[in-house]
Amino acid sequence: MQRISTARRVSQVFLWVVPLVPIPLLAYRPGGLKLYALACATQVLLMAVAVWILAADSIKDSTADRRTLQLPGVFLIACWASATLAANMGPPPRAAAWAVARPDQHMRYVALLVAGLLAWAGFGLLTAKIRESGERTFSVLGLSAATISTTMFTLFTLTMLTVVDMRATQVASSGNVPQWWPPFSALIDAWLGLFAVLTYLATSLYAMALGNVGLLGKLGSVVFVVLGVIAAALALIAITSSNQPATLVHGVFVFLIPAVPFILPYLIGVNLVRRAGDPVS
């Protein structure tokens, strides 16, 4: 049995718990980005060091097969490294509060836009790797779902950076909500909800594909599939329900949706980098 060094074990555990321990959140104050940016930069640097240690053997090895497994993993990890800049800021403010902290919100949605594009790139590279291994069903369906979700997410983030920003300025100056806002807000929520549901489903499809080609253990594949399906179902219930009991679910899976759906792809990325860096017997 291959021995795993203590440094690699520690690096893997650290990468696992990063989404669950939002340390930079403690450093965020609206309008005060310097300390927060420093805290986030420190976290990203630690993540990069952990990835380097975890993938050390594949970095030294020029074998194409190991590199093609490592690269999509790095992209999927990078998507959370970007998304965490937004996640650790907490829920976005509304109306006048947005106008006060405009630079914060611009950073939030630019980071989310980059995260979405990185996740899509990672899924695309992963699809190529899986197809080389002979699996051509779940990976193609996963990439299709990821492509549509990325389109919805790109529309959402660009709208938040432009139209919603303009609306916040108008409300802050006049105190009146524009008549066009309610239907437009519903459209934005639809984009956001579709992004979440499809991203969770794409993650489940990729987990099945990885399990079929032996790049993910059977237990790991089942866990990712179950978590992805449950999260997709909860997100779907949240965005279609107007009942008060759905408020908590709505807060977790919809209000913070811009970052939360990237967690499962990120964890798949950690597994890919770890597998690519395993010593060759």
DSSP the chain: -PPPPHHHHHHHHHHHHGGG--GGGGG-BTTBHHHHHHHHHHHHHHHHHHHHHHTHHHHH---HHHHHHHHHHHHHHHHHHHHHHHHTT-SPP-HHHHHHTHHHHHHHHHHHHHHHHHHHHHHHHHHHHHHHTT--SHHHHHHHHHHHHHHHHHHHHHHHHTHHHHHHHHHHHH----TTHHHHHHHHHHHHHHHHHHHHHHHHHHHHHHHHTTSS-HHHHHHHHHHHHHHHHHHHHHHH--SGGGHHHHIIIIITTTTGGGHHHHHHHHHHHHHHHSPP-
Model confidence at 155, pLDDT cuts 50, 70, 90, reads very high
For residue range 219-238, list pLDDT tens digits in order: 999 999 999 999 888 888 77
For residue range 72-128, list pLDDT tens digits in order: 999 999 999 999 888 877 777 766 677 777 888 888 899 999 999 999 999 999 999
pLDDT(65) > 50: yes
The answer to whether 136 and 212 are in contact (CB under 8 A) is: no
Average pLDDT over residues 243-260: 56
Q: What span, in angstroms and rounded, lies between the C-alpha atoms of 274 and 79?
A: 17
The predicted structure's pLDDT at residue 29: 73
Average pLDDT over residues 229-256: 65
For residue range 156-204, list pLDDT tens digits in order: 999 988 988 888 777 767 767 778 888 888 888 888 888 999 999 999 9
Average pLDDT over residues 251-266: 75
The predicted structure's pLDDT at residue 1: 38
What SS3 string covers 216-256? CCHHHHHHHHHHHHHHHHHHHHHHHCCCHHHHHHHHHHHHC
Exposed, middle or buried: residue 175 (CB in 10 Å: 0-12, 13-18, 19+)? exposed
What angle (nearest 5°) sits at the alpha carbon of residue 55, between those of residues 142 and 270? 35
Model confidence at 244, pLDDT cuts 50, 70, 90, reads very low
pLDDT(247) > 60: no
pLDDT(141) > 90: yes
Q: What span, in angstroms and rounded, lies between the C-alpha atoms of 271 and 161?
A: 33
Model confidence at 55, pLDDT cuts 50, 70, 90, reads confident
Percent of the chain beyond pLDDT 90? 44
Q: What span, in angstroms and rounded, lies between the C-alpha atoms of 227 and 233?
A: 10
Model confidence at 253, pLDDT cuts 50, 70, 90, reads low
Mean of all residue pLDDT scores within the chain: 84
Domain ranges, ordered by start, for the chain:
6-277
Percent of the chain beyond pLDDT 70? 84
